[in-house]
């Protein structure tokens, strides 16, 4: 049995920053990571574009992870154990008892607080109802990314990609650079959800055909994939089967969304928020269960790693203070309200304790040109952020000075 | 898209202005930009786009080395640079931060190691 003040589950960027946060308030923590190294998904994201906010440099994923590992590795308050797969978390009288499978057998950890930073996983063929046979050659984009970038394997000769989010676009370029032909990227929506930068540098730079309002209807092939059927979709996003056609290829990458990896908490009876596919938290990143915190992609899918790091750090300082008995939550908790331009906020709740600041992340429901994001409390404006443009894909954040809160907190997007 | 005109989106700030870049009477003209940075970006993309190149070098005994150029290089040299990276001799004891190739393809940029992925056992 190991004892620690704060247990952090998952050693990706969220977990690393959380550890830094815990240590910064003088508490001890242990990170349990199932992989044989820290860094999480960053290890396989070898392209540049990470850390512009945090380090003022454009790093690759592994370099960004390396910087953080350097920051925490010399800190005496922080320990990490690799090859430990956490299988269960239980509430005890004065904290938590967590069970993990490790190379040395079963591991039990007792802690005052737990921070879950287990990231997310990809939606697979089963979850999008892809018709046809089940030949080899169909991968999720992230799985292919790992095979190619970390294991040095080749996934096929001629590939198609379903979904044009950033991971799909980045993988299209990786395949081309590895000598795999990319026959096309198929996107069911009328626009790509990827960043303009990735459209230019991954798709146009290599003349890859990007087919919008088009989807893959079924796959064909016995042992190995021999091709896919694609069809344009109507306004209701239903395929127009009369226009279906066959595209020969031996590989299909699925880049169709990410799901927070939070099933391990299902028996806690926490409040679920469908908009994020995860559980509700307050501004300390604490769930309904005292001492249980969530941060990073397990809370909501982030597009920028810098956001994950700042969220992790916030959760870490809160959990550290909680474990030391310094986090008073006696104040009233209210739900953060918002208008119809905002899809959700994380955190969902805030306390009227009038102390410190809160970081509120949210996504807007569609693309807008010029807007002002405003926060109100007791009819008074408490924060505002003018934005030259906001897109539905991109996460926004607003910092709230809690001393200004009168009753609740309400967010509004004023479209100019 | 012809060689005489480029339609692109400026990536220098989140506004993402839709730029049109043209050659008019020998001069390069950018329109659609909201500020001078967009004009600069449009001209660069039209005349000589620059990219940071990242790549994977396969190790003989399994695993990879991940690399990148330490500054942006001319996009037109993309595949030549990739070829030079892929055909470089395998370093004996590759480490994070090492220079893998100096002055790659005579660009003045070095290729540096960003990760080493070896099977430990
Ligand atoms: C396939 C894929 C590709 C991505 N590519 C990009 C990209 O190119 N650019 C970008 O900006 N963002 C990318 N992202 C988003 C990226 O995930 C986030 O920016 C960030 O890495 C999330 O950090 P995290 O710490 O929340 O999660 P992760 O980085 O996923 O870290 C979670 C960690 O928890 C560990 N873990 C999970 N469950 C357990 C358990 N039960 N026990 C022990 N350990 C556990 C995992 O092994 C992992 O190390 C990608 C995401 C995915 C899934
Ligand atoms: S032109 Fe200026 S305002 Fe427009 S996207 Fe580029 S940098 Fe931003």
Which CATH number fits the domain that encloses residue A397? 2.60.40
pLDDT tens by residue, A47-82: 998 988 888 888 999 999 999 999 999 999 999 999
Report the pLDDT value the prediction gives residue B121, as an integer from 0 to 100: 45
Q: Is A260 in the pocket of ligand 1 (CB under 6 A)?
A: no
- Cα A67 to middle of ligand 2, angstroms: 31
For Cα atoms A128, A133, A137, give the angle at the middle one, nearest 5 degrees: 80
The verdict on A415 and A344 lying in the same domain is yes
Residue A235 region, left (φ>0) first, then alpha (ψ -120 to 50), else beta? alpha
For chain A, give the mean pLDDT: 94
Fold of B54-117: CPE0013-like fold (3.10.530)
DSSP readout, A247-311? Answer: EE-SEEEE---EEE--GGGGGG-PPEETTTTEE--BTTSB-SSTTEEE-GGGTS--S-HHHHHHH
Using DSSP, state whether B33 is helix, strand or coil.
Answer: coil
The verdict on A40 and A81 lying in the same domain is yes
- The atom number, within ligand 2, closest to the CA of B38 reads 1
Residue B26 CB: number of other CB atoms within 10 A?
5
Q: How confident is the model at residue A11 (pLDDT cuts 50, 70, 90)?
A: very high
Report the pLDDT value the prediction gives residue A330, as an integer from 0 to 100: 77
Q: Which residue has the higher pLDDT, A341 or A129?
A: A341
- What is the least distance, in Å, from the CA of B104 to any CA of chain A? 17
The verdict on A83 and A24 lying in the same domain is yes
Which residues in chain A are closer than 8 Å to B15, comparing Cβ atoms?
A: 388-389
Report the pLDDT value the prediction gives residue A340, as an integer from 0 to 100: 94
A277-281, A365-369, A406-410, B117-121: which is most confident: A277-281
The verdict on A196 and A263 lying in the same domain is no
For residue A363, the enclosing domain spans 330-416
The verdict on A141 and A62 lying in the same domain is no
Q: How confident is the model at residue A391 (pLDDT cuts 50, 70, 90)?
A: confident
Q: Is B9 in the pocket of ligand 2 (CB under 6 A)?
A: no
Report the pLDDT value the prediction gives residue B1, as an integer from 0 to 100: 44
The verdict on A221 and A291 lying in the same domain is no
The verdict on A117 and A263 lying in the same domain is yes
Where along chain B do the CATH 3.10.530 domains lie?
A: 54-117
Closest residue in A to B82 (Cα–Cα): A177
Give mean pLDDT, residues A369-377: 92
The verdict on A92 and A150 lying in the same domain is no
DSSP readout, A67-112? Answer: HHHHHHHT-TTEEEE-S-EEEEEEEETTEEEEEEEETTEEEEEEEE
Beta carbons of A389 and B16 less than 8 Å apart? yes
Domain boundary, last residue among A256, A279, A312: A256
Q: Is A117 in the pocket of ligand 1 (CB under 6 A)?
A: yes
pLDDT tens by residue, A275-284: 999 999 999 9
Yes or no: say if A323 and A5 are a contact pair by the CB < 8 Å rule.
Answer: yes
Report the pLDDT value the prediction gives residue A126, as an integer from 0 to 100: 67
Domain boundary, last residue among A212, A237, A256: A256
Domain at A241, CATH number: 3.50.50.60
The verdict on A305 and A351 lying in the same domain is no
The rounded distance, in Å, linking the Cα atoms of A159 and A157 is 7
How many structural domains compose chain A? 3
Give mean pLDDT, residues A8-12: 98
Domain boundary, last residue among A256, A288, A316: A256
- What ipTM does the predicted assembly reach? 0.91
Which of A109, A152, A15 has its CA nearest to residue B116? Answer: A152
- What is the least distance, in Å, from the CA of B56 to any CA of chain A? 6
Q: How confident is the model at residue A136 (pLDDT cuts 50, 70, 90)?
A: very high
């Amino acid at each position: 049995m190991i004892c620690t003040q704060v247990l952090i589950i998952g050693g990706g960027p969220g977990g690393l920053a959380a550890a830094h946060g815990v240590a910064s308030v003088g508490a001890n923590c242990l990170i349990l990571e199932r992989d044989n190294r820290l860094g999480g998904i960053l290890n396989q994201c070898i392209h540049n574009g990470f850390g512009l906010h945090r380090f003022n440099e454009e790093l690759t994923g592994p370099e960004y992870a390396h910087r953080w590992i350097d920051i925490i590795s010399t800190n005496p308050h922080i320990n990490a154990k690799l090859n430990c797969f956490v299988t269960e978390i239980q509430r005890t009288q004065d904290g938590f008892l967590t069970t993990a499978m490790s190379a040395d057998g079963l591991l039990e950890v007792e802690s005052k607080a737990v921070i879950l930073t287990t990231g997310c996983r990809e939606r697979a063929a089963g979850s999008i109802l892809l018709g046809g046979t089940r030949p080899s050659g169909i991968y999720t984009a992230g799985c292919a990314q790992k095979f190619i970038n970390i294991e040095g394997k080749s996934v096929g000769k001629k590939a198609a990609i379903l979904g044009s989010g950033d991971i799909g676009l980045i993988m299209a370029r990786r395949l081309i650079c590895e000598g795999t032909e990319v026959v096309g990227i198929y996107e069911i929506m009328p626009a790509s959800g990827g960043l303009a930068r990735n459209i230019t540098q991954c798709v146009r730079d290599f003349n890859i055909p990007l087919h919008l309002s088009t989807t893959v209807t079924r796959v064909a092939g016995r042992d190995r994939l021999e091709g896919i059927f694609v069809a344009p979709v109507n306004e209701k996003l239903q395929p127009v089967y009369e226009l279906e056609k066959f595209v020969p290829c031996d590989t299909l990458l699925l880049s169709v969304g990410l799901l927070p990896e939070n099933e391990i908490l299902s028996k806690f009876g926490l409040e679920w928020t469908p908009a994020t596919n995860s559980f509700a938290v307050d501004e300390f990143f604490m769930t309904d269960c005292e001492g249980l915190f969530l941060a990073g992609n397990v809370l909501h899918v982030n597009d920028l790693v810098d956001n994950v790091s700042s969220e992790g750090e916030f959760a870490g300082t809160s959990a550290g203070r909680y474990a030391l008995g310094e986090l008073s939550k006696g104040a009233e908790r209210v739900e953060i309200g918002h208008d119809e331009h905002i899809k959700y906020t994380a955190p969902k709740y805030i306390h009227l304790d009038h102390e410190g600041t809160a970081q509120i992340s949210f996504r807007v429901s569609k693309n807008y040109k010029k807007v002002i994001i405003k926060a109100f409390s007791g009819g008074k404006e408490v924060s505002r952020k003018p934005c030259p443009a906001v897109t539905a894909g991109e996460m926004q954040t607003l910092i709230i000075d809690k001393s200004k809160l009168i009753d609740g907190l309400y967010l509004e997007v004023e479209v100019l | 898209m012809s060689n005489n005109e480029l339609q692109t989106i400026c990536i220098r700030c989140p506004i993402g202005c839709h730029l049109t870049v043209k050659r008019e009477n020998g001069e390069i003209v950018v329109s659609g930009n909201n500020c001078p940075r967009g004009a600069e970006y449009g001209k660069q993309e039209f005349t000589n786009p620059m990219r940071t190149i990242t790549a994977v070098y396969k190790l003989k005994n399994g695993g990879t080395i991940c690399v990148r150029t330490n500054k942006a290089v001319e996009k037109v040299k993309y595949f030549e640079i990739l070829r030079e990276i892929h055909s470089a001799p395998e370093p004996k004891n590759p480490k994070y931060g090492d220079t893998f190739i100096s002055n790659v393809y005579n660009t003045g940029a070095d290729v540096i190691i960003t990760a080493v992925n070896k099977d430990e056992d």
